[in-house]
Amino acid sequence: MSIRGKVLLLAIGAGICMFGQLQLSIAQHQPTPREQANIANNEMRHFGDAPDNPGLIATDLSTSTRQAVVAKAMRKVADWQLERSQPYLDRIWTWSVLYSGFMATSESLGDPKYRDAMLAMSQKYDWQLRSHLPNADDQSIAQTYLEFYLLKKDSAMLQPTQKELDAILAAHLYDSGQGDCLVVVRCALHGAAGVVADVCSHR
């Protein structure tokens, strides 16, 4: 085995050990009443769940890092997650993170099923952000929209996000530290749409 391969295996082993220690420390911590109330609130909003009986541990998976084995685990988790979450899909950041995972899973597995579900979600929300506020939580859904734009080159997937960010910049509805960030995103959007390059220099 090459040195690179040995280093990779060592890193994976260290990660597994650290994860095991983390799980042990989590298992030993009992939530305070305030933490439990937050957990219950998140469950009600379908941000996740913490069932008393989570069911049986999968016995058909392996710890091997071979591509086919990892792909099987990815598919099993993605199928389970998609079935449980699809009725509750929303545009807040906690869902946006999941959407990025589904998009990556479709690409990694060469299976359009997860991407198709994300396309249906995006169409349901008409490619709109969660709010008109300069709030990254409400803008995070744009990552999925923009991934679709890059795949399909359909401007309808891009324009609502572009319009919202342009309006936020024009009205100076952001903290002083956020302005440069928004300008970079705005320029990237205009660039992605094929708009003339000097948009940023004339803000």
Percent of the chain whose pLDDT exceeds 70:
71
Average pLDDT of the segment spanning 12-37? 68
How far is 190 from 162, CA to CA, in rounded Å? Answer: 8
Q: How large is the C-alpha radius of gyration of the chain?
A: 21
Domain boundaries, the chain: 63-202
pLDDT tens digits, 40-88: 888 888 877 777 787 888 899 999 999 999 999 999 999 999 998 999 9
pLDDT in tens, 136-187: 888 899 999 999 999 999 999 999 999 998 888 787 766 655 555 555 555 5
Among residues 16, 114, 103, the alpha carbon closest in space to that of 65 is found at 16
